[in-house]
Amino acid sequence: MNLFVARYIGFAFAICITTIIAISFSPLANAEPSHGIAMHGKPALPKGFKHLPYVNADAPKGGKITYGVRGSFDSLNPFIIKSIRTTARGIWDPVFGNLVYESLLFRSRDEAFTLYGLLAESVETDPERTWIEFHLNPKARFSDGKPVTIDDVMFSFNLMREKARPPYSSRMKKVASMVRVGARGIRFNFTKEADRELALLFGMMPILPKHATDAENFDKSTLKTQIGSGPYTVDVIKPGESISYKRNPDYWAKDLPVKIGHDNYDMIKVEYFSSSSTMFEAFKKGLFDVFPEGDPSKWQNAYNFPAVKDGRVVKDVFRPKTPASMLGFVFNTRRKLFKDRKVRHALAILFDFEWANTNLFFGAYKRTGSFYQGSELSALGRPASIAERKLLAPFPDAVSKDVMEGKYLPSISDGSGRDRKVLKRAFKILKQAGYKLQNRKMITPTGEEFAFEILTTTKEQERLALAWQRTLARLGIALNVRSVDDTQFQRRKGQFDFDVVIARYYASLSPGAEQEFRWSSSSRDIEGSFNFAGTAEPAIDATIKAMLAARKREDFVTAVRAFDRVLMSGHYLVPLYHLNEQWVARWARIQHPEKLPLYGYRLPTWWAKQ
């Protein structure tokens, strides 16, 4: 028997065993079923609510929208390592919506972290969240008309355990058992290693049809059309170029409260472009409909084409109430050159934000210093509380004095691009780390020239890196800016094959298990994880654990602020900048609701004007 056959038989056996356990054991519930579940507190919307507060419940159905994205695609499977960054957009998509696959619960974007019923009509758990139980909606159907059953749920979770990428596979390690409860119920009993957020994350796991999923080849990329329970089905595929979806007229959940006002187009198309400049030119010609803009210079100067002047293209400004995301030059600490925190600190000091903001961005940006800036979760400008100090006490070297006292700020220059005070400060730190200047070149403690490479994929990234390069050169540090195509960039980033890379860490009002995938020691060596910095620090692990274990809001805030302090003190990246706004250009036939949810605009709630 070859290894592959053995693995497949083992997978099938695991499903059978789980089913046997499920049938033979069904504990009595000791909590009341609910229409929703919140990470902290209770859901804001009562049972029987009509629709989410940020949709237009009367939005017209029909028409078409085309989205534009950079890059390419080679798979329709978003759940495996091989296509983690090359899956066609829209299949399972936080921006365009989960068009094909769905989860048991649906997340409201107007609350920090609250889920309401979707495939599951109710949910219940104990106060400690040692288990969670879902009861399926009897109306739930896949696009081929077959009902969604507990067998499909159990099959999906076993498949994720065996063949999916993290975090789907890693979550399953914290399940002690899956138990069938009656005809439409399923309970997950968690191990002692599980945290309080895990119960909610299971409500957001994808559910696949057992009868229409190739379990044997699930870990391989595929362009075969997938069947799900979502509002759309795949229509036309042009590999690497475009993918189109058509509305399922028999979509089972179209009248559910969480889906009212969503999924308003008859057709959705995603077009792929090789570069941002090509993509923008295509938008100007009306080849796609919505263009999120992040470049202040373009927002000020490039939107002067005829369609903007005559009102056919509208420029929208949205102001969400979430923390600013962290954009930065991320150091790969797996590289010997970046293992020393002092070195990373010195390099961060040498980014001249004031010069870049004035000369490249028309002064539009604000400097980012915290991973949760603009919210109560941020430690920036706040002295550590007694509770924070107690949490951080076992790690006396993890947080620097200025960060602990709330006095830390990213470096501030005179904006000249050659501020000698900034250069002297950075040089002093490098000398303390054993570096020296020799023949106008910075030399490492081992006698080598201080040189490294940064990967970029766009002209905007390259321009930013060149600004940093110019300042570094004044201290004899050689930065090579290497521009690569999107495919190579995603491959090298996924394999951690870089010195420095530009990355963005999106922030929410309820950070949780995603931080493990970004920063914890458990994700450091997992290919495809978002732990680009290669961090494996006990203080990071401990603060994430405290964050996930918190039951009260004040304990949660304490843990997140302590976590923020550890990241700031570690200088794992050069913090860059953020906007307090979201900029989106759209062709005027595409409309959006008046109310903006907490997390900002939601494309799945927009519609086409007839």
- Global pTM value: 0.84
Give every CB contact of residue 98 below 8 A, 6+ residues apart in sequence. Answer: 91, 92, 206, 230
Q: List for the chain the helix, strand, coil content (%; round to 5).
A: 30, 20, 50
Residue 517 has pLDDT above 80, yes or no: yes
pLDDT in tens, 239-256: 999 999 999 999 999 999
Question: 17 falls in which pLDDT band (50, 70, 90)?
Answer: very low
Write the DSSP assignment of 68-127 as a string of letters.
Answer: EEES---BS-TTSGGGTTTBPTTSS-TTT--SS-EESEEEETTSSSEEEESSEEEEEE-T
Name the CATH architecture for the domain at 3-47+81-212: 3-Layer(aba) Sandwich (3.40)
Angle at 164 between CA 158 and CA 170, to 5 degrees: 80
- Bridge-partner residues for 106, per DSSP? 116
Q: Please give the average per-residue pLDDT across 139-143, as a whole number.
A: 98
528-559: pLDDT as tens digits: 899 999 999 999 999 999 999 999 999 999 99
3-state SS, one letter per residue, for 146-208: CECCHHHHHHHHHHHHHHCCCCHHHHHCCEEEEEEECCCEEEEEECCCCCCCHHHHHHCCEEC
pLDDT confidence band for 610 (50 / 70 / 90): confident
The answer on pLDDT for 12 being more than 90 is no
Q: Name the class of domain 232-320+581-608.
A: alpha beta
Separation between Cα atoms, residue 559 and residue 549, nearest integer Å: 9
How far is the C-alpha of 208 from the C-alpha of 428, rounded, in Å?
Answer: 57
Q: Omega before 167 cis (within 30°)?
A: yes
Listed by start position, the domains of the chain span 3-47+81-212, 232-320+581-608, 326-578
| pLDDT of 345 above 80 | yes
Name, in order, each residue with C-beta under 8 angstroms of 578's C-beta and a sequence gap of 6 or more: 324, 325, 326, 327, 365, 366, 368, 373
Q: Is the pLDDT of residue 29 over 70?
A: no
> CATH classification of 326-578 is 3.30.70.380, yes or no?
no
Q: Tell me if domain 3-47+81-212 and domain 326-578 are identical in fold.
A: no
CA-closest candidate to residue 600, choices 258, 41, 95, 66: 95
**Choice among 286-290, 436-440, 462-466, 525-529 with the minimum mean pLDDT:** 525-529
SS (H, E, C) 292-350: EECCHHHHHHCCCCHHHHCCCEEEEEECCCCCCCEEEEEECCCCHHHCCHHHHHHHHHC
pLDDT at 8: 36
Q: What pLDDT is stored for residue 377 in this prediction?
A: 97
* Counts of helices then strands in the chain (DSSP H, E): 17, 27
Question: What are the structure tokens assigned to 577, written together?
Answer: 């900048």
**Residue 580: what pLDDT?**
86
